[in-house]
Amino acid sequence: MDFDWMKIPYAFLTLFIVVNYGFLLNAFIQKIGARVGRRHGIPIWQNYADMFKNYGLRSSITHGVMFYLGPVFRLSGGVGLILFVPIIYGSTMFSNMSFAGDLILALYFIFFGTLGMALGAGESGHPHAAIGITRGLSQVTTAELPFALAVFSVALQYQTLSVTDIVAAQQGGVLNWTLFTNPLAVSAAMLSFLGSMMRPPFDVVIAPQEIPIGPPTEYHSSYLALMQTNRAIFPIAKIVIYMNLFFGGATDWPTFFFKVFMIYLWSAFVGVVFPRFRVEQSIRWFLIWAVPLGVLSIVMV
Amino acid sequence: MMREELKIRVVKGPDGVEFEVDPLRDYFCEAPPASHPPAYAKIVEDLFNWARSHSLWILGFGTGCGAIEMRPLMTPRFDAYRYGIAWRPTPRQANLLVISGYLSVKTLKRAIRAYEQMQNPKYVVGLGSCTINGGMYWDSYNTIKRLDDYMPVDLYITGCMPRPEALLQGFEDLKKLIRAGKAEGANQYAEKFEWYKANQKQVIHDWDMPDYNW
Ligand code: SF4
């Protein structure tokens, strides 16, 4: 088997672009949220300052091995996701390590980080962290359910488990996108998308402003900075999967930037309009609205 | 005088083995704080100082009347977020402790614990005249008078109470201090640890916590 070594620097380049785009996009989305609330919002480079500050903290304490590994797992979940899906369709430079059947791997990576985080935060021993994990895992699990169903439906529809092939099948016009050929699966997945982006109405897990800040309660300095880096990578990685599966993928960077932004905007748009759900409400919401859509989409195919 | 839950006790584990727990020794790290001088080349430290000054994470901890002046900063009218100032709910992640007004002895205990849990480059801002000389509580039996005796203060914002604009101005001044590398309160606290502890114990009579709690 011949392995193309040039892929490695290309993969790093992809990662670099994605990290920076993620940082800027996160700040931009936050700014949009702030503008809706008639605030000026954070400067666009705020996330860089926060990250440098956290890497630059001089002291840090640990609660054990898993406490170290939690953020590392989480980051590798995000990075792995990026590396194993084709970012730009048809470009040898940026399709990375994608291979046949990578869809299953991608699904696995989405969950991987959450689990690592749960173990790590559990070791911190802080009660708020434990509460955050319980909330987080139950919500993410139900939110993943419709997505998994939608993915199966799409895989059935195209008779393949390779993301590249699915993108290939959607080329040649907007009407070939899964969005139009399998609207039920896309709607189920887009509802699940809301649940995994950690924005309102489904942000009770990290509860950004209140006292129990959730799993990262005890995390600080470099641990936190690693997690921040992941917060930049992970949404993009996730959106890339959505883009590839449902919105025809991207054939060049401008299309990529635009589509990712539009998909991200969907969660921000819902987020500023609706208030927050409690966990049991959101679970019920996913089970009642999103899961039947997913089942239906499989049945239709 | 020890609180009940801090006394040494014998606990039976789920596997039936009995062992002794000394909460003060087992649940807290008793190592005194260490001083961490700036470790990197000047240009790196400058970058870090720039980042620190632009990402002030305030611990959401309000003590006196002054705390009410911090809330407008989060609202659309004053909107401190555009200056890189944010509020964090946990001391682990915060790097700025704002003592917003008079500090009763009981609250001082909590303030010390919160301060000690924050990680090294950390800053303290005293808000209002109560933190400087006791203010209108100067003859109170139950509040401290000079905050500087109990934790290293980087900056005072005067007034009774200062308006949100004054706070923003104060934070801008703090940023200048940080960028100039002059805000080394955490190291000062570590170096003069005994002196601070002696001062703290002088006013806190029912000292029932470890000397240094991470
Ligand atoms: S300085 Fe004035 S406003 Fe501030 S805590 Fe003291 S009495 Fe209250």
Using most ligand atoms within 8 A of CB, pick from B130, B136, B163 the residue to mutate for ligand 1. B130
Cα distance between residue B214 and residue B203, in whole Å: 21
Contact by Cβ (8 Å): A78, A237: yes
Question: What was the pLDDT predicted at B171?
Answer: 92
- CA A137 to chain CA centroid, nearest Å: 15
| pLDDT per position as a tens digit, A221-251 | 777 788 778 778 888 888 888 888 888 777 7
Nearest 5 degrees, angle CA B98-CA B86-CA A16? 140
Cα distance between residue A144 and residue A201, in whole Å: 16
Total domain count, chain A: 1
Q: What is the mean pLDDT of residues A31-45?
A: 81
Q: Is residue A122 part of a domain?
A: yes
3-state secondary structure of B162: coil
Q: Is residue A2 part of a domain?
A: no
Give the torsion through C-alpha atoms of A45, A48, A53, A55, to 10 deg.
180
Of B98, B112, B87, B114, give the one whose Cα is nearest residue B64: B98
Closest residue (by CA) to atom 5 of ligand 1?
B101
- Residue B131 Cα to ligand 1 midpoint, Å, equals 8
Q: Does residue A212 carry a pLDDT above 50? A: no
- CA A133 to chain CA centroid, nearest Å: 17
Q: What is the mean pLDDT of residues A133-158?
A: 82
Q: Is residue A1 part of a domain?
A: no
Contact by Cβ (8 Å): B73, B164: yes
**How many alpha carbons fall within 13 Å on the CB side of residue B175?**
16
Q: What are phi and psi of B167, to 5 degrees?
A: -60, -45
- The residue extents of the domains of chain B are 43-202
3-state secondary structure of A279: helix
Question: What was the pLDDT predicted at A99?
Answer: 61
Whether residues A38 and B76 touch (CB distance < 8 A) is answered with yes
Cα distance between residue B104 and residue A191, in whole Å: 50
Burial class (CB in 10 A: 0-12, 13-18, 19+), B132: middle
In which band, very low, low, confident or very high, does the pLDDT at A206 lie, cut at 50, 70 and 90? Answer: low
- Locate tokens 């529809």: which residue? A157
- Residue B93 Cα to ligand 1 midpoint, Å, equals 27
Q: What is the nearest CA distance from B162 to chain A, expressed in angstroms?
A: 22
Whether residues A53 and B52 touch (CB distance < 8 A) is answered with yes
Q: Which residues of B touch A (CB under 8 A)?
A: 29, 34, 36, 39, 47-48, 50-52, 54-55, 60, 75-76, 79, 81-82, 84, 86-90, 92-93, 95, 119-121, 186, 214
Q: Is residue A194 part of a domain?
A: yes
Using most ligand atoms within 8 A of CB, pick from B125, B144, B160 the residue to mutate for ligand 1. B160
Residue A160, Cβ neighbours under 10 Å: how many? 17
Whether residues B84 and A40 touch (CB distance < 8 A) is answered with no
| pLDDT per position as a tens digit, A242-297 | 888 888 777 778 888 888 888 888 888 887 777 777 777 878 888 888 888 888 88
Q: What are phi and psi of B57, to 5 degrees?
A: -105, 110
Q: Is residue A210 part of a domain?
A: yes
Question: What was the pLDDT predicted at A211?
Answer: 43
Question: What was the pLDDT predicted at A115?
Answer: 75
Chain A CB contacts of B36 below 8 Å: 58-59
Cα distance between residue B104 and residue A95, in whole Å: 62
| pLDDT per position as a tens digit, B120-157 | 888 999 988 888 888 888 888 888 888 889 989 999 99
Average pLDDT, chain B: 84
Whether residues A39 and B76 touch (CB distance < 8 A) is answered with yes
Whether residues B51 and A37 touch (CB distance < 8 A) is answered with no
Q: Is residue A154 part of a domain?
A: yes
Range of the domain at A246: 7-300
User: What's the CATH class of domain B43-202?
Assistant: alpha beta
Among A112-116, A233-237, B137-141, B199-203, which is the least confidently predicted range? A112-116
Of B117, B98, B106, B188, give the one whose Cα is nearest residue B140: B106
3-state secondary structure of B56: strand
Q: Which residues of A touch B (CB under 8 A)?
A: 34, 37-43, 46, 48-53, 56-61, 128, 209-213, 216-221, 224
Q: Is residue A289 part of a domain?
A: yes
